[in-house]
Structure 1
Amino acid sequence: MPPGERPAAEENRIAVCSLSSRELLEPLSVLPGVALAGTLMTANLGIEELVRTLACRPAIRILVVCGRESPRFHAGQSLLALFRGGVDAGCRRIRGAAGYLPVLPTVSLADVERVRSRVEPVDALGECDPSVLRELVAKLSPRERPGAGPALPERAAARTPEPAHGDGSGFRRLRAGGRRTGISGSLDGFVVISLDHRARRIVLRHYDNDLTPRHEMTGVRAESMLLGLLDAGVITEPSHAGYLGGELTKAETALRLGLHYDQDLPLRAPRASVGGVRPVRARKETRAISEARKNQLSLAEFLSAVVNGLGAQGTELDPHVPLGVQLSVDSARMIELAIVLEEELGLDLPSDVDLRRSSPMELYGAFAA
């Protein structure tokens, strides 16, 4: 059973959508009355998958929308707008939605109306305090509404290839890192990878940039799926093939071990929390940067490296505010930044770090420690 999913029970009738606040999933998913708990990032594909899930789970009658709202995608506002105004049947746009591209091109309008008529949304947008949300759920759970179901899905649309390097005696040394070819340009669209734990399958969907469906593939092995994409000519760019190979391998591992899978994020143990940045001196691994280089880099130079790593040239960062609050950047850019910090500056990042929650001063403090 995937993380976030509760066994069917008479008292479980509430679904919780924590938007971009992944740290809320663990404390909220175990509350009495909660059958589903998941995140939501986008106002289009993410909402479509959420609607499909709720449409297949008629016992779910309450949807609590809480957590941090994305300042770029406004998925939470768009989700609530869907319940208020529905979808324009002609253009498939969510009425009253302020999110980025709030259109639902592939979900059934009948499913949308079925969910709207049955599920009651509870607006707790922006609330991130687990204790407050615990009280809210406790007030909702006594209602006479049975239910159960799977975790609310969340699909990320960021696409980035994985870096590679070689090392060893007699080999030509290659530098890890560098800039990557834009995936969306090479593929003419983007790919969304998810897991169907019930069917025990990896699901890969390819969309055009306007969200028009192009290709769909399911499988259980990363290698066979990648070979199928190459054989069909869907993938021609080497960097994209490397990226998909890495993501499909993560998805296969998560499927076999019963882990939660989020595209472009590291795999974690079922109850592992998102890590923060730690000074290298607190860890046993050796640093890749020399003492001379460390002493030469000022805070201003470090901030410039961070800005360039995020592709946000010209932006002035507040050293004490988390990056995710200051900038609206997708996970692809955060991976770029991680490569800059690790490969170019020698910072030793934990494998589960969430750079969006780290401030530039925290990163620099870990760097200069």
Structure 2
Amino acid sequence: MTFLTSKYPELASATLSTCEIQIDNSSWPPVEGEYTVLNKSAPVAVSTLANVKLEEKLVKLNPSGLCMVGKTETENIGIDKIIKNVISNPSISSLILAGKDTEGHQSGKTLLALWENGVDKNMRIIGSKGRRPILKNVTHSDVEKFRKQVQVENQIGCANTRTLAGKIEELSRNAAPAASSSSCGCHGDCGDQTVTMAMPAVSLPEPSAAVPSVTAKKQSKTSIKLDKAGYFVILPSKKNASILVEHYSYDNKLLRKIKGKNGRDIYFTIINNKWVTELSHAAYLGKELARAELSIKKGFKFVQDGA
């Protein structure tokens, strides 16, 4: 049971036991994610773990040999995606783990554990100390292909782009050519210089139910139900670098004030104390607190949305 389903039991029946990955075999990479592809035929992939800015810097630097780079924040779905994308591209022979590891999830250390130890019969990554290192969207065969195909380089904690660029170029120089076949079908034994590389099909776990695709409908402002617990007025202060939230009853009586340095601390305080009882109100509150926090960081005037 998740934090939200414990607070809102009605969500439990709508929560999927697995979050299956959508696969697109018509192009590479087949799995969507937050990453940048620079050269599909290059041999080195980089995970910047929790460091988004490091990804941006490496993309700008664009070192020779870099295939793709992106963050990996979770020790389950994030690793599922890496495995699927790597084994579907035989050019990739090295995976560098760099940047700050994710707290709690420990996606970097979990990737190292996966490469070194594999998974048990329940698809739990052996040796991982992450919160939930269980792979739901790959098979044992996928894991073994990944472990055999790539060398994982531990650069966790390193955010020096020059150091990482040097490592990428070194691994690229030392990479063995990916398996390929010539256009005549002789596997490169003749003088035919036309070489094609086949991207292998990506396997899905069996059984694999179709995942519905839902288009969000435009909602009116009246879609949010009035919360019997009251309403909130959000007052960010750039001067104090803090957010003040006033909680009122519907007869406009001030019930309490909640003050914090960031939106996350405030909405957890509100939810834990059950000062919000409607899901739509909780979603609205999270959105507005995020905007309030951003207004402090970026310096724009915050005007609370009327819901």
Please give the range of the TM-score, normalised by the shorter of the 2 chains. Answer: 0.5 to 0.7
| Identity across matched positions, percent | 22
Partner residue, 2:77:
45
Please list the CA deviations of residues 62-117 of structure 1 after superposition, one character each: whole Å capped at 9, or x if unmatched. Answer: 0001112111211111111000100002x210000011110012311111101101
Partner residue, 1:184:
none
Which of these residues, 212, 221, 234, is aligned with residue 217 of structure 1? Answer: 212
Partner residue, 1:99:
130
Output aligned runs, 1:45-64, within 5 Å. Answer: 45-64=77-96
What root-mean-square deviation, in Å, do the aligned CA atoms of Structure 1 and Structure 2 show?
Answer: 4.0
With structure 2 as the length reference, what TM-score do the two structures score? 0.54
1:147 and 1:4 map into 2 onto residues whose CA distance is 21
Please list the CA deviations of residues 39-73 of structure 1 after superposition, one character each: whole Å capped at 9, or x if unmatched. Answer: 11111111111111111112211000111211121
Partner residue, 1:156:
none
With structure 1 as the length reference, what TM-score do the two structures score? 0.46
Paired residues in the alignment total 203
Which of these residues, 57, 66, 69, is aligned with residue 27 of structure 1? Answer: 57
Check if 1:86 corresponds to 2:118.
Answer: yes
Counterpart contact for 2:73–2:107, Cα < 8 Å: yes
Counterpart contact for 2:40–2:68, Cα < 8 Å: no
Secondary structure, counterpart of 1:131 in structure 2? helix
Counterpart contact for 2:45–2:94, Cα < 8 Å: yes
- Kindly indicate which of the two structures has a greater share of residues assigned to helix: 1
Q: Which has the larger radius of gyration?
A: 2
Q: Which runs of 5+ in 2 are unaligned?
A: 1-27, 30-34, 180-206, 218-222, 225-233, 245-257, 271-281, 302-307
Q: Which runs of structure 1 show a deviation greater than 4 angstroms over 4 or more consecutive aligned residues?
A: 212-215, 297-303, 333-338, 362-367
Counterpart contact for 1:20–1:40, Cα < 8 Å: yes
Aligned partner letter, 1:141: S
Counterpart contact for 2:63–2:165, Cα < 8 Å: yes
2:125 and 2:153 map into 1 onto residues whose CA distance is 18
Output aligned runs, 1:222-237, within 5 Å. Answer: 223=215, 226=216
Secondary structure, counterpart of 1:142 in structure 2? helix
Partner residue, 1:339:
288
Change (3 A) 1:141 1:340: same
1:131 and 1:47 map into 2 onto residues whose CA distance is 26
2:284 and 2:103 map into 1 onto residues whose CA distance is 19
